[in-house]
Amino acid sequence: MTASNDEKWIDKKISRREMLKLTGIGVAGAAIGASGLGGVMKVMGYDVFEPVADSTTVSNKVKFYGKHQSGITTPVQTNIYFASLDVLFTSKKDLQELFKLWTPLVVRLMNGELMVDLTTNTRVPTGDTGEADGLDASNLSITIGAGPSLFEKLGIQHLKPAELKDLPHFPKDQLQKEFTGGDLCIQACADDPQVAFHAVRNLVRAASGKVEIKWSQAGFNSFPAGGGTPRNLFAFKDGTVNPAITDEKDLNEVVWVDKGWLQGGSYLIARKVQMHLETWDRTSLKDQEATFGRYRDSGAPFGKTKEFDDFDVEAKDSKGEYIMPDTSHVHLARKSGARILRRSYSYASGVMSNTGAHDAGLIFISFQKDPAQFTAIQNSLGRMDKMNEYITHRGSAVFACFPGVQKGSYLGEALFNAL
């Protein structure tokens, strides 16, 4: 049944406190959704959404509210816990209620709080699993996006942006189904691995019966003592050519979507890339540097002395040979002409059961205003990229990350307004 204009107005405009006053119902008479986790209440059949404010006193705090979601241009933290989820419902209303539930919980987590106060009743499960109790906010950022399959499941294909589609098969891809795709994603980044894990664990737990984890990956970064670009497990600096996160003009060109209900959002691409460390470790430093097209210690491109020195990809030496090898990763990526915002982390997950080799590599994350930017780079790398000798792409997913949330609103509201 289609809601009346009055019902829609009540759903969006009346706070929980105001609704209780209007109806004369006390708190005891209001049914709290999702096992009392807050954010959404049922009063006389209406969803009444109650926002939570960003804390202004907590240390190491990333703001939740704003034009864009956190975790995209937020300064990169040292840890990530990334989860791809499948939804267990087919109703648009269920998705809306999920986002209304999650929004205040995300704010509390980013405030460094537990999602709910721990109960004193020891005979029931606690509302928060508690492993982050006593830890601070740790610069936690949480980013949530929707995959192409979500729109199919919910029968809202007409709202799926044309750009949101599964990535094509690239040369050397050996994707495993268990690390590919997903209806929703949660990217939790923090300066404490337990804080990041706790956030994903508890958001999924709060939505028990509504979502389940399809695949996940924890990752880490370490920054030089004096600051600078972190190194990947091949010991080379990773993310040198990123747009400056303070350059709004450049970010508008590279990162932020500028049309439709996704305006102010971005597309997240996640790739699980296994790095064959044993093969790499038997390779000479000269060949390693030729693979990247950069010097390992300084991070400078071939023919230059500093990491951020610009270079001409077509420059040749006195013998007429490319200064930067034309099979190097940097040469081919630059030649594509496309740019993205990288936000990648290393991972180490034990050993491969069949070979005993390290199960380690890169959880590659990038943000762009159109996934075609990533596709252009990957196609340029193609079969020529010397890096292909040392890596294998095992997982892949693409998600539309919603615009930011304003106080009094909830995650993904622009999508539901477009219904």
DSSP codes of every residue in 291-310 = HHTB-TTT-PBTT-SSTT--
Determine phi and psi for 21, rounding to 5 degrees: -65, -45
Is residue 4 pLDDT above 90, yes or no? no
Mean pLDDT, range 183-210, rounded to an integer: 97
CA distance 99 to 413: 8
Position 342 scores a pLDDT of 97
232 secondary structure, DSSP code: -
Position 43 scores a pLDDT of 42
Residues 311, 319 contacting (CB under 8 angstroms): no
CA distance 162 to 195: 35
| Confidence at 131, pLDDT banded by 50, 70, 90 | very high
Return the minimum-mean-pLDDT range out of 20-29, 156-165, 405-414.
20-29
Domains present along the chain, CATH in parentheses: 1-50 (no CATH), 51-167+181-264+401-417 (3.30.70.1030), 277-398 (no CATH)
Mean pLDDT, range 393-401, rounded to an integer: 97
Return the minimum-mean-pLDDT range out of 227-231, 326-330, 337-341, 390-394.
227-231
Mean pLDDT of the chain: 89
Is the whole-model pTM more than 0.75?
A: yes
SS3 percent helix, strand, coil of the chain, rounded to 5, is 30, 20, 50
CA distance 134 to 54: 19
Position 122 scores a pLDDT of 81
pLDDT > 70: percent of the chain: 88
| Length of the chain, in residues | 419
Residues 198, 131 contacting (CB under 8 angstroms): yes
Position 417 scores a pLDDT of 95
Residue 366 in tokens: 């990038």
Is residue 386 pLDDT above 80, yes or no? yes
More reliable by pLDDT, 36 or 261 = 261
More reliable by pLDDT, 289 or 172 = 289
Position 119 scores a pLDDT of 63
Mean pLDDT, range 124-144, rounded to an integer: 94
Instruction: Quick: pLDDT tens for 319-352.
Output: 999 999 999 999 999 999 999 999 999 999 999 8
Residue 230 in tokens: 């972190």
Residues 360, 275 contacting (CB under 8 angstroms): yes
Is residue 236 pLDDT above 50, yes or no? yes
159 secondary structure, DSSP code: G
Q: Which residues contact 242 (CB under 8 A, 6 or more apart)?
A: 341, 342
| Confidence at 155, pLDDT banded by 50, 70, 90 | very high
Other Cβ atoms less than 10 A from the Cβ of 386: the count is: 20
Mean pLDDT comparison of 47-56, 74-83, 114-123, highest-scoring range: 74-83
CA distance 224 to 60: 20
Mean pLDDT, range 409-414, rounded to an integer: 96
Instruction: Quick: pLDDT tens for 279-328.
Output: 999 999 999 999 999 999 999 999 999 999 999 999 999 999 999 999 99
Is residue 47 pLDDT above 80, yes or no? no
Position 300 scores a pLDDT of 97
Determine phi and psi for 170, rounding to 5 degrees: -105, 155
Mean pLDDT, range 22-35, rounded to an integer: 38
